[in-house]
Amino acid sequence: MKASEIKEMEASDLELKIKEARVELFNLRFQLATGQLDNPGRIKNVKRDIARLHTEARSREIEAARKAAAS
């Protein structure tokens, strides 16, 4: 998932994507533990996606706080 795609999402979609990515990461870890994981690099990509999603969510929180403080 690209950063430009994440920036275009609404807040509710962002939270939903975070939850979906965490479930996917759990499933990937489970597959790794049971020896069924075909592409171990996918774990790294999902972790990065989660970090990107959290970064965007946090930046939106900070921006909202700045606007509220300025008002």
Fold of 3-70: Helix Hairpins (1.10.287)
d(CA 5, CA 11): 13
Query: What mean pLDDT comes out for the span 25-40?
Result: 96
Mean pLDDT value of segment 33-58: 96
**Whole-number average pLDDT of the chain:** 95
46 Cβ neighbours under 8 A, 6+ residues apart: 21, 24, 25, 28
| pLDDT, average across residues 31-44 | 96
pLDDT digits (tens, 9 = 90+) for 8-30: 999 999 999 999 999 999 999 99
The predicted pLDDT at position 3 comes to 87
Domain assignments of the chain as residue spans, ordered by start = 3-70
pTM over 0.85: yes
Nearest CA-CA partner of 14 in 67, 58, 62: 58
